[in-house]
Amino acid sequence: MKKRNRMKRIIVMLAMILIGVGATYKGDILSFLEGENKTVQVNRNEALADVSFDGTNQVIAINDNKPDFKAKDLMLEKGSWQTFSNLDDLNRVGVANAMLGRELMPKTDREALYVDPTGWRNKKLASGWLYNRCHLIGFQLTGENNNLKNLMTGTRSFNTPGMLTYENKVASYLRTTKNHVRYQVKPVFKGNELVARGVQMQAQSVEDNRIAFNVFVFNVEQGVDIDYSTGKSMLK
């Protein structure tokens, strides 16, 4: 009897250990996939431009992944809307803001992109083209397409899965609710460089707290050195 009870205790203990390991492993995988396993305490563009890619985490969380919208930014009296900054003296894009709702989502397929943003010096790699024309506010969210105020030069991994991971989260939420999401994408340039070092993406669902993130996506590609001043590149 004692041996049987001891064996039961051992089995229970092993089960608890396995459950704990499994939960930790799952969490680590999700953290890795979402790139939110590192936090930086910065908000200003100048500071973000100086944050270096560590070679692993293409997406990092800012301020514990909490968006910094003010209460007035979350007001719904204007309904759904989107705004884009005017291009600067170097024709570079600026911050894009939106109050997203299902009514803004496109009902037609996207047409081919043809306008070239600053730093568009594309190069064919063995794995495909280095750069994409990347939307600040993704087409699936508002249907905005060949708008120079909404397009920047970004690497393939920056676009997909980098930005797309978070755009898909928002799009899925909008499709399954009648709620709204306050959304902001801020490209971060260093000095007079023509290619952004990355973007800060923030989102907050207004009617609930199911969508809430504040991340920085690095505009990098593994195995490639990018001259952010011109958009030229070379293999490492």
Determine which helix (DSSP H) or strand (DSSP E) holds 61, and give its type and residue range: strand 59-62
| C-alpha closest to that of 103 among 34, 177, 199, 214 | 177
Q: What is the pLDDT of residue 31?
A: 37
Asked if 184 and 97 count as a contact pair (C-beta separation under 8 A), the reply is yes
**Pair type for strands 198-205 and 180-188:** antiparallel
**How confident is the prediction along the chain (236 residues), in pLDDT tens digits per residue?**
544 555 445 444 444 433 333 333 222 223 334 544 466 655 555 589 889 999 999 999 999 999 999 999 999 988 999 999 999 999 999 999 999 999 999 998 899 999 999 999 999 998 899 999 999 999 999 999 999 999 999 999 999 999 999 999 999 999 999 999 999 999 999 999 999 999 999 999 999 989 999 999 999 999 999 999 999 999 98
| C-alpha closest to that of 199 among 180, 182, 184, 178 | 184
Q: What is the pLDDT of residue 42?
A: 56
Asked if 234 and 224 count as a contact pair (C-beta separation under 8 A), the reply is yes
| pTM score of the predicted model | 0.83
Q: What is the pLDDT of residue 22?
A: 36
| C-alpha closest to that of 113 among 137, 93, 139, 90 | 139
